Structures are given as C-alpha cells and as structure tokens.
Amino acid sequence: MQFRLINKKLGVKSISIFSEFSYPENIKDICYIKDIGFLCLCDNSIIKVTDQECNQVISIDNPMSICKGSEGHVYVSYQNGIRDFNYLDGYYHSELFGNEELENIYKPLKKIGVSGIYVHALGNTVGLSISPLNKVYVIRKGSVYKQYGSGLPTYGLSSSMQLNSFYNPCGVLMYNESTVFVSDTMNGCIRSLGDSHRIIVGNPLAPTIYPTKLLISNKKDILYYLSKNYLRSVTVSDSKDAMLYENEHILSMSMVDDKIYVLEGI
C-alpha cells in the first residue's frame, strides 16, 4: 500500500510532501513525538515514519488510536483498553488502565468489541470516547473522574438528553482539566463538555459535517478536525468554520509547531 505524509503551514494555501512510503498494512492514526518523530498505527504494529523511510518499532494487535502521554510515554488504545509505551525505555509497555475502578469500562469492551476507542491526554487527565458504545470518560490519575453519555445514540432537545446522547463519538480532546471537546460524529457536531455544555460547530438536528479526529492550536483558540474528505478549522470562541484541505484518502493528522501534517493514501 502507498501512503504519503504532507504538511500544510497554517495560513498558507500550498502543501509540501514530507514523506512517501509503502507499507503492507492499513494505517489508522498518527502522532508526533518530539525527538522521536512520527509514530503511525497499523493493523498489527506501530511504525516510525521519517522523510526517508518507515520502520516497525513494536507489534500490537488491532490498535485504534495513538497520542502523546506524559514525558517519555505514548498511549495506544486497542480493543481491550489502553497501553502505555515508554519510548525512552525501548517501548516497554504496561496497561495504563488496569485497576478495579475501571473494570466497568473495559469488561464490556472485551466481551463485545468496539469499532473505536479514541484517546487524548493532558498531563494526568485522559479523555476517552468510545464508539459505538456512545460514551465519553474523563480519567484522572487512574480513576474515572467524569462520565458522559447514557449510550443513547440520538440527540435530544432537553438539556439532560443533550449531555447524555452521543452517536459514535470518534474523537476526543482534553481542552483543560475541566473541559473536554468531543467529536459527536454521527450527530454531526463538535461539543464542549465540562463546566458548561455547548456545541462548538455543527447542527445535530440537520448534520452537514461528520467530525472525527481533533487537534488544537498552540494558543488553544482554533480547533482542527477531520470530516470525511476534509481538513477543517473552527475558532473556539465564535465558531467560525473554514475548509483547509480536501483529499478523498485522508487517514489521520498530527500537528508540529505551526504546521498540520496530513496522512493520506495514494
């Protein structure tokens, strides 16, 4: 299979090709680690991608999403939970959430399987969105801090229904320790949850976007998101939405300084 990693400097229309490479497995997600480079998830492995080549660094069965954790660590979600890889120690790994307090989350996942567990970390706080169980968890220091979603897949008009209805949430981003942004994908919106609830972009009653992975600018004023074949941006304060890039084979994205890197098939 053929892939390429391009970069787009913010505010500039043109793109540049960082790397083109071949790999026999499907690629699902990507993240950037300072001093390490780009790590990509494949069907059964994690690979490192440079501007010259790609190499497998470790094997893992059916990973779903990857993000940078605390210093020296990267978190990878898979069907049975989250693994913590210490890349400063030869990618030694442990189960990040293996304690009894979280068994209520992962026991049903092990039994029925899920199409996606999406993870994002901010210090000691980790956000998980789980599709198709339609729930969002905020984990702090190894235990459940907050839970959103009753498992109902529709979006209601009442405030209680709004807070408790997700439909295949395929993205999560910890904005700060009390606020989490969620791609409520099949409800067609990005939502802010925490001290207050609001829709940042989209209309769940008449969806026109289907957001998945989320990134945030260094100043935390702009969200970047993928929706089908598009890379889009939206301002956090006043919800100004814009289309930045289009390609029918977009797989994932990552951010380095003032550039967004888009991973796509060729």
pLDDT score of 96 more than 80: no
pLDDT tens per residue across span 158-178: 555 556 789 999 999 999 988
Domain-wise residue ranges, the chain: 62-247
The alpha carbons of the chain give a radius of gyration, in whole angstroms, of 18
pLDDT score of 157 more than 70: no
Report the distance separating Cα 189 and Cα 214, nearest Å.
Answer: 12
pLDDT score of 153 more than 90: no
Average model confidence (pLDDT) across the chain: 88
pLDDT tens per residue across span 210-244: 999 999 999 999 999 999 999 999 999 999 999 99
Task: Spell out the SS3 assignment of 110-149.
Answer: HHHCCCEEEEEEECCEEEEEEECCCEEEEEECCEEEEEEC
Greater confidence, 12 or 238?
238
Residues 62-247: name the CATH superfamily.
TolB, C-terminal domain (2.120.10.30)
Q: pTM (2 decimals)? A: 0.92
Report the distance separating Cα 57 and Cα 55, nearest Å.
Answer: 6
Greater confidence, 256 or 99?
256
Greater confidence, 32 or 114?
32
Cβ atoms < 10 Å from Cβ of 247: 16
pLDDT score of 112 more than 90: no
pLDDT score of 148 more than 70: yes
